[in-house]
Every structure is written in C-alpha cells, then in structure tokens.
Amino acid sequence: MNFELKTLSLAAAAKLSTDTLIVLISNQFKAGKDPLSVLIDKAIKAKDLTCKAGQSLNVYALSGVSAPKVIILGLGDAQAVDVKAAISSAATALKSANTTKAVILFAETPSAQTLKAAMLALADATYVYSTTKSKPVTRRLAQVHWGVADANIALKHSFSSTVAMVQGIEFAKEWANRPANHATPTMLGKAAQALAKTSGMSCEVLGPKEVAKLGMGSFMSVAKGSAEPLRFIVLKYQGAPKSVAPTVLVGKGITFDTGGISIKPAPEMDEMKFDMGGAASVLGVFKSLSLLKPALNVIGLIPACENMPDGLAVKPGDVVTSMSGQTIEILNTDAEGRLILCDALTYAERFKPKVVIDIATLTGACVIALGALRSGMFATEDSLAEALQHAGQEAMDLCWRLPLDDDYADALKSNFADVANVGGRAGGAITAAKFLHRFAQKYPWAHLDIAGTAWKGGAAKGGTGRPVGLLLQYLLSQQSSPQTKSRSKAGAA
Ligand code: BES
Ligand code: MN
Ligand code: ZN
C-alpha cells in the first residue's frame, strides 16, 4: 500500500479524483464555504451527524465533489482510541472491491500522534494474508493520500517513520501467519538473509554444527525432537559508527510448539505456529530499519527450531548444559522458549551491548495476567522500563512492567542441576523472566512477554505484528540519546 502525505484543504480535496474521499472531523470542526463544509454543517445541524469518534455519514455523487463516494467520519477528541474507533468504523468501505484509491483528509491539522494512529489503524484494518491461498486475494486498497491543511515538519517526520513502521508490522504479520510448514527455521534464515541485502545490513545463519561448537546445549536440546534442523540467525544493522554500542534484540523463534514430550492438548494447538512471534517482530524491526536507516547500531538474534515429541526428543528430568556453563534440569519440555533464549542471551555478551531486549511468546501465565491488551515487560533498570513503556504508548503498542524480585527465583531450585526450567503455576510469567535473568547479568536487559499480544485467536485469527511498533519507537527514541548526540553535532545524523 502506497502512502503519501499531502497539503490539502477541504476545497482542494473536493476536486480530487479518487474512489473514496474520507473527511475526518474532530470536535474542533469549523465549517468553511466549500461544498464539503456545507454538507457537514447541514448534516450536523440536522442531527444526522456528530463529531463523536466512529460516527459516520456516507454520501454519493455529491455535486461539486469529484470522488464518487464521500465518508464523513467523526474523530471525537482525536486521541489514539478515538482514531482507532473512527478508522475501524470505515473498514468495510475501505476494504470494498471498488476502493483502490482513497484520500483521507483531516479537516483540522492533526497532531503527529493522531496522524500516526490513523495510519496504523488503517493499515491494520485493511491487512490481508494471502500467501497460502490458491487464489490469492490481496489488499485492494493500493494508494492512500493523507491530506492535512499544513504538512509541517513534525507531521512529515512522524509520517515517514510510520510508513516504515507499517512495513515492519506487515512483514512480522506475514511471517507469523505463515503455517509452520511454510515458515521452518531454514525458511526464517533465508528470509533474514534476503532482508540483509539492503546496504548497512548483514546476516549470518548458523546451523547445528556451528551451534554445537558454540556450546549451546540448552538450545540444541529443544531442537532434538525435530526433523527440521535448527537455525541461529544473526542480523546486523549498522547505521552509526562501529564504536557505538549496539542494542541487541533477541526473538524467540519456535516455529511450532507441540510442547514436546510434555505435549500440549489438541484444541488450538495450531496457534502454536505463532510461537515464533518474537522472531517475526525482530525481522519486522529490521525491515523498518532497512527503510529508515537511522543512526543506530542494532543486532538481531533469532534462535529458531521446532519443539516436537520424538524418540530422540529431550525428556522431563534431563539435565543439559547451557552456553553459559550453567546446567538446567528440564522438568517440563513445554517451557522451551526460555531454553533457546538463554543461549542467545549468552551469545549477546560478545557485542558488549548498550541494552539487550528479548521478545517472546513465553508464557500462558502472562496471558492470564494482562490479557491481549498489554505485553508483559520486565527490565533491570527503571530508565529502560520507562523508555519502553513510553515507546509503547507512542506507538499504540502497550506494555506493562512486571517485577523481577530475586525471591521469585526460589521457585526454580533444582536438586539435580543449577536451575530448573519451570517453577510452579504461581507467578508463571515472572518465574520465566527470572530464569532468563540468570543469563542476562552482563548488560542492561529487558524482556517482553508477548504471549497475549502477538496474535489473535478466533474468527480474526492472525498475527498482530506486535511489538514491532513499540520496538521501533524505542530504537528511534535512542537516536537522540547522549551516546549518539556527538554524531548529530558533527552533522552526520
Ligand atoms: N509458547 C508457550 C506459551 C504460550 C502458551 C503462548 C499459550 C501463548 C499461548 C510456551 O512455550 C509454553 O508452553 N509455556 C508454558 C510454560 C509452563 C510449562 C511453565 C505455559 O505457559 O503453559
Ligand atoms: Mn511451550
Ligand atoms: Zn513456546
């Protein structure tokens, strides 16, 4: 979908040839003398329309207006929730067969945040998955021109980062949605390599031999039950001088989670193809970085494998040795995410990172705690937690901080190894985070548990592309942090 930002008045918009013209009116709406204003004014006076978020009026073949169809859409206070409500109320029209081009005009110049909310909501409402359909029906809406009275610098800036954000979100949705037989660890590796063809990017994909050499015994134990060979993907984006410490993103890449020998029940097991949502979000962020090319260094690490039951599979009670040297008693083979992530967290040390953030569909307990609205967020430093929370708000991709008290780690004691891979049911999202915490001692670290937010079940089953928005917003906010300020002074940023 092609997005463009245009300086446009209501009078000028009336003369544009497009399939559908949408006029967004907030509570601040003031009518002018152009044909659209006159219509809106009359409709409001007749009480057929209010400016409330999601209220709408469809008009056809309006004289003085070139577009065959006009939708007047209430924006209310133009807050993120209002914008989302407004755009989703027009979703059916935007998805209709005869709308390939649309002009969406803000009657009042929006804030950068309002514009971003509208763009994200529109992309989400019109997204279509088609890769594994025999007769692919793709998104019909091909071009959207966003009209504002004054395309100022702040709007232009927000517009271009949001265009890249949408691309990243849709890349993550695509890979998350692909069935496990169309998104194997090998295929994820190839996707990463293809992404890295852009300048400033590189990618290395390690296989079973290299991973064994690194001593990733914990990661390898999860892959043992699968006929699909594991992959360890290392993506690098260099947009700042080499001396600038990178941010490392680690994405859980379980391409299918049966639970292993601790097998899951059959209902909804298909949804465990989404268990690589963390990996998909890392790929999505790199997609956005390839388009935006910000002055940052970012490393993406993706341990990818299947978790399968088999004669060769790891068994409950087995003890494995992680890359860190710590031994782990695998009491439940279904707690596999932490087993692949811990080795990636150890691998991350070699980059002397500024920050490491792992992203994982880690625990059902996090879904019980926070539902589908907010991702669980853990952080070793308050400033990091605040930055992530703020980025989530800015990108409308919310998270909520959960604690990392050391006493929670008591649940992971083992009689036969340094640590067990599960505690009890109580505080399950936190004990999982505490397991990872043991392997993330050498740098500031955050963990995002996206088990509730990475995909939707039911009729709207599909990947959400979260938390690409949050992560990209966070990374971009780091561009102007003290570490990179010297660059902008020198005029390089
Ligand atoms: N991938 C699952 C977590 C999950 C479950 C995400 C349901 C979304 C919906 C993870 O590998 C897992 O199975 N976790 C177990 C951990 C338990 C055995 C301690 C869980 O949450 O049940
Ligand atoms: Mn599992
Ligand atoms: Zn899993």
pLDDT score for 487: 39
pLDDT score for 484: 40
Q: Which CATH number fits domain 2-150: 3.40.220.10, 1.10.287.3510, 3.30.420.40, 3.10.20.310?
A: 3.40.220.10
Q: Closest Cα to atom 7, ligand 1: which residue?
A: 364
In the reported structure, the alpha carbon of residue 125 is separated from the centroid of ligand 3 by a whole-number distance in angstroms of: 28
**For ligand 1, mutation pick of 338, 363, 366 (most atoms within 8 Å of CB):** 363
pLDDT score for 480: 63
User: Using a 6 Å cutoff on CB, does residue 275 contact ligand 1?
Assistant: yes
Q: Please state the pTM of the whole predicted model.
A: 0.96
Q: Closest Cα to atom 8, ligand 1: which residue?
A: 451
pLDDT score for 493: 34
Give the tens place of pLDDT for each residue, 304-328.
Answer: 999 999 999 999 999 999 999 999 9
Name the CATH architecture for the domain at 173-480.
Answer: 3-Layer(aba) Sandwich (3.40)
In the reported structure, the alpha carbon of residue 222 is separated from the centroid of ligand 3 by a whole-number distance in angstroms of: 10
Number of the ligand 1 atom closest to the C-alpha atom of 272: 1
Residue 492: band (very low, low, confident or very high) from pLDDT cuts 50, 70, 90: very low
User: Using a 6 Å cutoff on CB, does residue 364 contact ligand 1?
Assistant: yes
pLDDT score for 53: 93
Euclidean distance between CA atoms 15 and 386, whole angstroms: 46
Measured from the alpha carbon of residue 451, the closest ligand is: 1
Number of the ligand 1 atom closest to the C-alpha atom of 428: 19
Share the mean pLDDT of the chain. 95
Which residues, chain by chain, have CB under 5 Å from ion ligand 3?
Answer: 254, 257, 275, 337
User: Using a 6 Å cutoff on CB, does residue 451 contact ligand 1?
Assistant: yes
In the reported structure, the alpha carbon of residue 335 is separated from the centroid of ligand 1 by a whole-number distance in angstroms of: 6
Domain ranges of the chain: 2-150, 173-480
pLDDT score for 49: 94
Measured from the alpha carbon of residue 259, the closest ligand is: 2
Measured from the alpha carbon of residue 332, the closest ligand is: 1
pLDDT score for 137: 86
Q: Could you list the active site residues?
A: 264, 338
Residue 120: band (very low, low, confident or very high) from pLDDT cuts 50, 70, 90: very high
Give the tens place of pLDDT for each residue, 430-484.
Answer: 999 999 999 999 999 999 999 999 999 999 999 999 999 999 999 999 996 544 4
pLDDT score for 213: 98
Give the tens place of pLDDT for each residue, 153-195.
Answer: 999 999 999 999 999 999 999 999 999 999 999 999 999 999 9
pLDDT score for 136: 84
**Average pLDDT rounded to a whole number, residues 411-429:** 98
Give the tens place of pLDDT for each residue, 247-295.
Answer: 999 999 999 999 999 999 999 999 999 999 999 999 999 999 999 999 9
Assess whether pLDDT exceeds 90 at residue 202: yes
In the reported structure, the alpha carbon of residue 364 is separated from the centroid of ligand 1 by a whole-number distance in angstroms of: 5
User: Using a 6 Å cutoff on CB, does residue 429 contact ligand 1?
Assistant: no
Residue 235: band (very low, low, confident or very high) from pLDDT cuts 50, 70, 90: very high
In the reported structure, the alpha carbon of residue 28 is separated from the centroid of ligand 3 by a whole-number distance in angstroms of: 48
Give the tens place of pLDDT for each residue, 365-396.
Answer: 999 999 999 999 999 999 999 999 999 999 99
In the reported structure, the alpha carbon of residue 179 is separated from the centroid of ligand 3 by a whole-number distance in angstroms of: 15
